[in-house]
Chain A
């Protein structure tokens, strides 16, 4: 296109014009950047197969000099309570997700398609609640859980998240797009509202539900803040929270006494990938 009409102001930046060499340099720079981004993972995988003293060796090599991979992973799986932590994370995340869907889908259908007094107040409350992060409500929620004696239970770990205002908002927007004429036709054919939800709305909303599920699961899998507050015992600890006790320099642990922090990095690589997707959901 350059020959159609040459830029009249092209002077000082002529040299940045993408010639083929310029493009080559960009590509090389992008790959160097990518190496920096990926290096922590490479280091982690490499170190997970080294003996402890080699991890902090002055000359780092990606291929371990002494291969300890089998022992390290065996230790994580069978000698450490790490499988318990992973299980706890799984229970909490799945539990949260199931209850979130059970509460959000009916509510958002009513908000989207049914008329009732107070619906706009409820929807306004939902919008306002989206901006409230757990960090703000954590104190009264914690005190409440202390008063009813439910601290350090799965219930306490799930409770603040079992209604997702974000999900209600998302599904309501999605359901509104569903044609009213089909719902009317179904009503004429004798479908009850519950049947309409289960047999018409739900199948059409699978993409939205799937997307939300990934976001919700990842967000709570990665959450450190709330487990740090309510989890006190080793057998309720989530995988993410357990990272606190694997820090070589860490002195602080939550509540109950824990085994001394092992200083080997062998546990790092099993956990650091969350199952899927991305971790930046604001208030899921």
Chain B
């Protein structure tokens, strides 16, 4: 077989190998995305087959809609509660656990346990723990003389409750990421820093650990932000957006509009907005992942 002929059969084979994946990517990603965009310009509902193009009416409605503003508000407020905890608690835990000698692996397993569980199922356990009447948490609060809390029934509290559950489920994951980042910091850097006078834990953290942890920290921050914006499971199971829309977050609103009220056009506009946010986070990550390494 000549070289060029061999090249030809190889190219043909290459096309054959990528064909199934390519067709499926077209069917599952490309065409649906195009339809989401086109659909967002129509008033299509699943209920009637008649629809017409309405231009950017859906987007105008979106930005003038109180329900949308409320969902966005809720999402950002929830992220504000969730993100600092998801980042700082995990980092402190990772540093504390790394310094443990004999208990390190036990503690790692215990803190990682919630990550391995199915959040939808554990949400039910949290519902019982946070029950306003006979829940263990309220009973414990009462024993310490603190007031009982209506975790899911109070509009001002429900986002805190959801943030607590999400924190519980993500801390172990972020902690393991931070631990991986910490172990990859060369020991001799600490020795060199100690030579230069930075031998106190606080000094060591700000002079060595934090700068060397840059890429890991960025990764944790971005993935946690995306997780925060994707909050859905616990809302769907525990609150259904209630009470009085106080826990109606962005993704849950898009779900309601599309699959409960069948306002497909409007829901498509919401989906594209959601995609825009995700792209933004991905860009931030791509931008910083190359630049944030301080050696």
Contact check, B116 vs A279: say whether CB atoms are below 8 A apart.
yes
Question: Could you say which residues of chain B place their CB within 8 Å of the CB of A40?
Answer: 114, 122, 125-126, 129, 168
A182 at the interface (CB under 8 A from B): no
Contact check, B116 vs A276: say whether CB atoms are below 8 A apart.
yes
B264 at the interface (CB under 8 A from A): yes
B147 at the interface (CB under 8 A from A): no
| Majority secondary structure of chain A interface residues (helix, strand, loop or mixed) | helix
Please, how many residues of chain B have a CB less than 8 angstroms from a CB on the other chain? Answer: 96
Residue in contact with A163 in the complex, picked from B14, B21, B32, B139, CB distance below 8 Å: B21
| Majority secondary structure of chain B interface residues (helix, strand, loop or mixed) | helix
B240 at the interface (CB under 8 A from A): yes
Contact check, A244 vs B237: say whether CB atoms are below 8 A apart.
yes
Give A192 to B25 CA distance when docked, in angstroms: 27
Contact check, A135 vs B122: say whether CB atoms are below 8 A apart.
no
Contact check, B278 vs A131: say whether CB atoms are below 8 A apart.
yes
Give A60 to B191 CA distance when docked, in angstroms: 51
If A13-B202, A137-B36, A139-B258 touch, whether A106 touches B129 (CB-CB below 8 Å) is no
Among the stretches A65-73, A203-211, A245-253, the one at the interface with B is A245-253
Interface residues of A in 164-209 (CB under 8 A from B): 165, 168, 193
A25 → chain B closest CB, angstroms: 11
Question: Could you say which residues of chain B place their CB within 8 Å of the CB of A137?
Answer: 28-29, 32-33, 36, 271
A219 → chain B closest CB, angstroms: 11
B293 at the interface (CB under 8 A from A): no
A133 at the interface (CB under 8 A from B): yes
Question: Could you say which residues of chain B place their CB within 8 Å of the CB of A43?
Answer: 125, 128-129, 136
A228 at the interface (CB under 8 A from B): yes
Contact check, A278 vs B279: say whether CB atoms are below 8 A apart.
no
Residue in contact with B25 in the complex, picked from A102, A129, A141, CB distance below 8 Å: A129
Interface residues of A in 135-150 (CB under 8 A from B): 135-144, 146
B99 at the interface (CB under 8 A from A): yes
Residue of B nearest to A168 (CB): B21
Contact check, B237 vs A107: say whether CB atoms are below 8 A apart.
no
Contact with B along A1-16 (1 / 0, CB 8 A): 1101111111001001
* Interchain residue pairs with CB less than 8 A apart (16): A13-B200, A26-B100, A33-B93, A37-B113, A40-B129, A41-B117, A41-B125, A103-B24, A106-B21, A107-B17, A114-B17, A116-B11, A119-B18, A136-B274, A193-B10, A274-B117
Across the A-B interface, the 9 shortest Cβ-Cβ residue pairs: A107-B21, A163-B24, A272-B121, A140-B35, A137-B32, A114-B14, A106-B17, A34-B110, A116-B14
Chain B residues packing against A (C-beta within 8 Å): 7, 10-11, 13-15, 17-18, 20-22, 24-25, 28-33, 35-36, 39, 46, 93, 96-97, 99-100, 103, 107, 110-129, 131, 133-134, 136, 139, 168, 170-173, 191, 194-203, 223, 226-227, 230, 232-233, 236-238, 240, 251, 254-255, 258-259, 264, 267-268, 271-272, 274-275, 278-279, 282
